[in-house]
Amino acid sequence: MLKENLLLDSTRPFSDASNIDSGCPEQSSVGVPSSWYALRVSYSRELKIQERLKGLGVRTFVPMMWKDKELVPAVGNLCFAYWTRTCLDEFIRGYGENSPVHFYWDRTANRPVVVPEKAMDDFIRVASTLDKDLVYVTELSGKLREGQSVKVRKGPFEGVEGKIVRIRKSRRILVELPGMLAVATTYITPDCLEIIE
């Protein structure tokens, strides 16, 4: 379950019958920048929605993990899309009343959750390794938030920023998508890290 300050904008049932014509064939409308949006996809159809968005030329990400030798979504019913709000609104409306796709809403700001680009890029870099030792965290305790802020100086995660945390008796870097969830890397040696003041 994702953080309490996130709210689904609708809870209508899903129907496979849909005629999607987004009206936004390009990654973004002219002069309107794209952003990373968190989408709630009902009935575990995140991979189908991801394929439809990719078919429209939209950059997407669904965190995946290995489970019993099968690659499955790491966080159920979640898909990220890099597109404009207007185009995503049209895409969602294209499903009609029974849309399986909805924005996650930030109740404090009263708008869809927009993930900062640097945080999303770092999250994708870590999650895309598909390492079996990655840990996804959907509820961040105060203890996890207290870690020292660092930047990885070398290795496969060079440039990734996060906090040093201890999970499963191992020092890791926790990369957080503010207010949503986080992923913790595999063990990283201290000589690869630079403290961020």
Contacts of 114 (CB under 8 A, 6+ apart): 35, 36, 37
The pLDDT value recorded for residue 1 is 43
Residue 86 CA to residue 149 CA, distance in Å, equals 35
Of 27-41, 77-91, 176-190, least confident by mean pLDDT is: 27-41
List pLDDT tens digits, range 96-117: 999 999 999 998 989 999 999 9
pLDDT at 18 over 90: no
Residues 28, 107 share a domain: yes
pLDDT at 13: 34
Range of the domain at 150: 118-195
CA 49 to chain centre: 14
Domain stop point among 97, 115, 133: 115
Same domain for 47 and 86, yes or no, is yes
Task: Find out whether 175 and 126 touch, Cβ atoms under 8 Å.
Answer: yes
55 and 93 co-located in one domain:
yes
- Judgement on whether residues 104 and 12 belong to the same structural domain of the protein: yes
Residue 190 domain-assigned (yes or no) = yes
In a domain, 131, yes or no: yes
Look at residues 59, 94, 107, 52 and name the one whose alpha carbon lies nearest to residue 80: 59
Same domain, 183 and 147: yes
CB-based contacts of 39: which residues, under 8 Å, 6+ apart? 49, 78, 79, 80, 81, 88, 101, 102, 103, 104
Structural domains in the chain (count):
2
Instruction: Write down the pLDDT at residue 144.
Output: 66
81: domain CATH number? 3.30.70
* Residue 1 resides in a domain: no
Final residue belonging to a domain, choices 59, 86, 115: 115
Q: Which two tokens stand for residue 14?
A: 């899903």
Are 23 and 106 in the same domain? yes
Same domain, 142 and 51: no
88, 140: one domain: no
Residue 25 φ/ψ, nearest 5 degrees: -70, -20
Task: Check whether residue 34 and residue 111 sit in a common domain.
Answer: yes
Q: Are residues 66 and 147 in the same domain?
A: no
Give the domain-ending residue among 115, 148, 164. Answer: 115
With 60 as the cut, is the pLDDT of residue 158 above it?
A: yes
Residue among 90, 116, 89, 117 nearest 103 (CA): 89
User: Could you tell me the maximum CA-CA distance found in the chain, to the nearest angstrom?
Assistant: 54
pLDDT of residue 31: 65
96 and 48 in one domain?
Answer: yes
Residues 107 and 127 in one domain: no
In this prediction, residue 6 has a pLDDT band, given cuts at 50, 70 and 90, of very low
